[in-house]
Structures are given as structure tokens and as C-alpha cells.
Amino acid sequence: MMFHLLRNTLRHMRSLGEAIYFLGDIILLILKGQVRMTDVLNQMYEQGVQSVVIVMLTSFATGAVLGLQGSITLQRFGAKEFIARLVVLSLLREMSPVFTALIFSGKAGAGITAELGTMNTNDQIQATRVMGVDPIKFLVLPRFLACVLVLPALVIISEIMGMLGGYVIAITQAHMAGAFYIHETLEAVGYVDFFSGFIKAFVFAIIVGWICCYQGFFTQGGATGVGRFTTKAVAYSYIAVILSNTVLTKIILTFWG
């Protein structure tokens, strides 16, 4: 039993070391300026198209639910004018970055892992090495950079749609004036609120891109392996996003309040 536990621990430690080394290779290529922007833009388009509709729908519904719950609760205390503040601060600081990252990893992230995994099981990655081409530079780097650039943009879209959902509920259910709701929203938002969520989105993008590219690049086991590694990539991304959100929230509240 102890030997089995030790072997699994060593295997996970070795995988973590490989993943860190893999990320180091990506960062080194970026620092050297070896980025093919055409490939990055193509990947941004594909990843954005895969995720934008579901992000918009989910965010609108989330904002609407926040507005509905807030209106019911706050009206009991005669404080329905704070609905806008509740909705916008919840979206900017926590819900939009986290929900968007989870949706993105389940859609675009899974697609990245499946694409790279299929290439690896079909020996396409090995073929690029035989031709003297760095597979990380030509296959991984564009997908990773696209993640880093697309996810923050999706978070901004999510925030806008979420605020729209809250606005619709506020004027239809809580019978608030639209101009007053917009005024309260703008008054509630500070630089810290916006940039704390944006920092989280950037970190989540790195995490999701790193995990999904790594799992896809080292996929083994044929078609079955592609499915297994894709599932692992999404599960690890979910866990990493949620745990890192806890750490980032603590850091942001400690330094900026």
C-alpha cells in the first residue's frame, strides 16, 4: 500500500515538473518573440466563436438571477436601491471571471486538448520534429497565447451581459428607473473592482491554456486516450481555477480591500 502511494506521488511530482518545464518553454518562445500572429489570430477566432454565445447566455442569466434574488432580499429591508451595486460588484469581482473561465475550459480548452491529443496519437507532432520544426512553437504557442488574449475579452463581455440581465430584472421586477440603475452601477464600480476581476481573468487564462495544452501535447493511448486526457484537462482546469480564485481573492482583499 505504501509503495503504491509513493509511486503515485512520484509520478505526480514528475508530471508537475514536466508541466512546469513545458510552461517554461512556452514563455521562453514568447520572450524571444517567436510568435506567429496569423496563427494566434486564427486560434483567437476559433476559441472565441466556441465560447462567446454560451458565455453571453450564461452571464445574462446569472445577472438576472442576482437581480431577482437581490430585489427580493433587499426589498424586505427597504434597500432595493442597492440592487445595482450587488449585481455589478458580484459580477466584476467574482462571478464573471470564474464562470467564464469554467465555461471557456469546458468548451475551448477541451477543444485544444482534443486537437493536440489527436495530433500526438496520429504521430503528427513527432512528424514536425522529424522535419526540424518545433511543435511547441507552431502548435502549442498559438493556442496558449489565444487563450491568454481571448479569455479576458470574454470576461468583459460576460460582465456587460450580466449587468444587462440585472438591469432587465431591476426595471421589470423591482420597478426601478433605468437611469437610476445605471447611475448606481457607475457609482459602485471602482478601479479596484474592475482590475481585480481582470487580473483574475488573466491568471485563469494562463492556467487553462497551460493545463489544456500540456494534457493535449502529452496525450497517449489512441482515441480512448484523447477522451481521457481531455476529461483530465477540463477537470484539472476547474480545480485550478477554483483554488487559484481563493488565493487571488485573499491577496486582492489583503492589499486593496
What does the pLDDT read at residue 81? 77
How far is 160 from 182, CA to CA, in rounded Å?
12
The CA-based dihedral angle spanning residues 53, 59, 64, 67, taken in that order and rounded to the nearest 10 degrees: -160
| Residues above pLDDT 70, as percent of the chain | 95
Does residue 174 sit in helix, strand or coil?
Answer: coil
Residue 90 is placed in which grid cell?
458580484
What does the pLDDT read at residue 3? 61
Asked if pLDDT for residue 12 goes beyond 70, the answer is no
Q: Which residue did the predictor score with more confidence, 219 or 5?
A: 219
pLDDT band at 15 (very low <50, low <70, confident <90, very high): confident
Asked if pLDDT for residue 79 goes beyond 80, the answer is no
What does the pLDDT read at residue 28? 92
Q: What is the pLDDT of residues 95-145, one digit of tens each?
A: 999 999 999 999 899 999 999 999 988 888 888 888 878 889 999 999 999
How far is 141 from 46, CA to CA, in rounded Å?
15
Q: What is the pLDDT of residues 207-247, one digit of tens each?
A: 999 999 999 999 988 888 898 999 999 999 999 999 999 99
3-state secondary structure the chain: CHHHHHHHHHHHHHHHHHHHHHHHHHHHHHHCCCCCHHHHHHHHHHHHHHHHHHHHHHHHHHHHHHHHHHHHHHHHCCCHHHHHHHHHHHHHHHHHHHHHHHHHHHHHHHHHHHHHHHHHHCCHHHHHHHCCCCHHHHHHHHHHHHHHHHHHHHHHHHHHHHHHHHHHHHHHCCCCCHHHHHHHHHHHCCHHHHHHHHHHHHHHHHHHHHHHHHHHHCCCCHHHHHHHHHHHHHHHHHHHHHHHHHHHHHHHHHHCC
Give 67's contacts (C-beta < 8 A, 6+ positions apart): 83, 87, 165, 166, 167, 168, 169, 170, 173, 174
Over range 55-66, report the average pLDDT.
93
Q: Cβ of 15: how many Cβ atoms within 10 Å? A: 13
Q: What is the pLDDT of residues 171-197, one digit of tens each?
A: 888 788 888 888 888 888 888 888 888
